[in-house]
Amino acid sequence: MIIEEGDLKEGELPLNSIIHGNTLTVLKKLPSESVDCVVTSPPYWGLRDYGEGANTVWGGDPDCEHEWVIETTKHDNLRPSKVSERTIVGSNKELRFRTGEKVRSAFCVRCNAWYGQLGLEPSLDMYIEHLLEIMRELKRVLKKTGIIFWNHGDCYGGNMGFTSSTKSDAPCNQGRWQPEQPIKRRFAPKCMALQNFRFIIRCVDELGLILRNVIIWHKPNHMPSSVKDRFTSAYEPVFMLVKSKKYWFDLDAVRVPHGSFENCRLKHRRHDCASEQYSKHTHGPDDYHPLGKNPGDVWAIPTQPFPEAHFAVYPEKLVEPMIKAACPQEICKKCGKPRERIVAKKYIQFERPTQRKYIQMVEHSSTSILKTRALPLTYIEGWTDCGCNAGWDGA
């Protein structure tokens, strides 16, 4: 089901639906602490133009009758040249030059509002300010037990002539742009802008979010590059952020199979499974989780083609472990507490004669089993119950 932005009611949380509209407008209508998991990726700064339909007004006075100014600046390596300006009077949605030319970026001389699209701001600081507006809303709608997965790549300075202003001049503080303020800092050509890490640091310092992981999404089928003075970019970071120390995370739902060496020790317990280094280990079969190992923070997942219009779509295998780990399968309808997975080991205590027979059966068991005189037999899996008896909903 597709819901348009204007049809979404204040405080409504539609399920199994696609909401089509401006990100900030939609987020502000969603109820607080209602979302278990957010998986998102913003337009990267200075990467591409998504068309006039993606333009909107940022900051300023919403009741202002905007008088827009177009600034055109040409840069060299040392200093900007003179700025030429053209003034346009028009509505927010029909902003065009008098010749009919479409407007990509404009500033209001009355209230300092900016007209443009996310990712094409004239400075990196303004771009980050806009992202912080979105992240504040994401934090508000996120449950205390929720998780945000934020995929964000980077760009290189000098490619498109973009600039970044200093805090002292603050031409884009509070999401506003003041054309009369000089630009003090530009990125050196070929230097990485670090747009993603600059933004995440501000999320931690100013919004109080907790950065738990930086997941490396390695793309085995990454795009080739013609550069000859650096290595080809083959990965993007995915930042895992939470708003509380105690949050929902089901690691058992995303475990991966143990490696061959570990499988050999788990299943056969034979000395010939590995090198002589095996004899130095005293791990028993209970040292390895029966559901698999922690997948780690480096994920090798190829990009996936998508037949529809958008060209930058997540591969399903990238999103799947995020949702499985961060979305509880069942939540109490009354208290909202998620059911937690229970994985328990069942042990059998053996007397010496019986234990020797068991050891002969599994072959060459380690000394740790002999010392404990207790062997894991089975694993029992279940789910906790809050006791409300009110039934369960999905996350």
- Name the burial class of residue 69, with classes exposed (0-12), middle (13-18) and buried (19+) by CB atoms within 10 angstroms of its CB: middle
Tokens of 295: 């997948």
**What pLDDT score was predicted for residue 246?**
93
Q: Tell me the residue type at 12.
A: E
Quote the CA–CA distance of 21 and 131 in Å, as a whole number.
17
Closest CA to 40 of 190, 193, 150, 133: 150
Closest CA to 392 of 340, 352, 322: 340
pLDDT score, position 174: 37
Closest CA to 31 of 131, 134, 135, 137: 137
CA 325 to chain centre: 13
Nearest-CA neighbor of 26 among 4, 59, 44, 43? 4
pLDDT digits (tens, 9 = 90+) for 365-387: 444 444 444 555 556 678 888 88
> What is d(CA 252, CA 383) in angstroms, rounded to the nearest whole number?
12
90 pLDDT more than 80: no
pLDDT higher than threshold 60 for residue 351:
no
Count of Cβ atoms closer than 10 Å to residue 67 Cβ: 15
pLDDT reading at 164 higher than 60: no
CA 294, CA 262: separation in Å to the nearest integer?
A: 13
How much is the pLDDT for 177?
39
Burial of residue 342 (number of CB atoms within 10 Å: 0-12, 13-18, 19+): exposed
Residue type, 11: G
Per-residue burial over 307-337, b if 16 or more Cβ lie within 10 Å, else e, is eeeeeeebbeebbebbbebbbbebbbeeeeb
Are 323 and 39 spatial neighbours (Cβ–Cβ below 8 Å)? yes
Residues with Cβ within 8 Å of 77's Cβ and at least 6 positions away in sequence, in order, are 189
Query: Torsion angle, CA of 221/222/226/232, rounded to 10 degrees?
Result: -120
Contacts of 188 (CB under 8 A, 6+ apart): 157, 158
Sign of dihedral through CA atoms 7, 8, 14, 17?
A: positive
Sorted by sequence, the CB contacts under 8 Å of residue 101 that are 6+ apart come out as none
The pLDDT tens digits for 255-268 are 998 775 445 554 54
- Choose the most confident range, by mean pLDDT, from 70-74, 225-229, 242-246, 264-268: 242-246
Instruction: Give dist(CA 259, CA 292) in Å, integer.
Output: 9
- Pick the range with the lowest mean pLDDT from 138-152, 286-300, 367-381: 367-381
Crossing angle, helix 195-207 and helix 124-141, to 10 degrees? Answer: 50
Residue 276, pLDDT score = 40
Under 8 Å between Cβ of 230 and 192: no
Digit-coded pLDDT (tens) for 312-330: 788 999 999 999 999 998 8
With H, G, I as helix, E, B as strand and everything else as coil, classify residue 367: helix
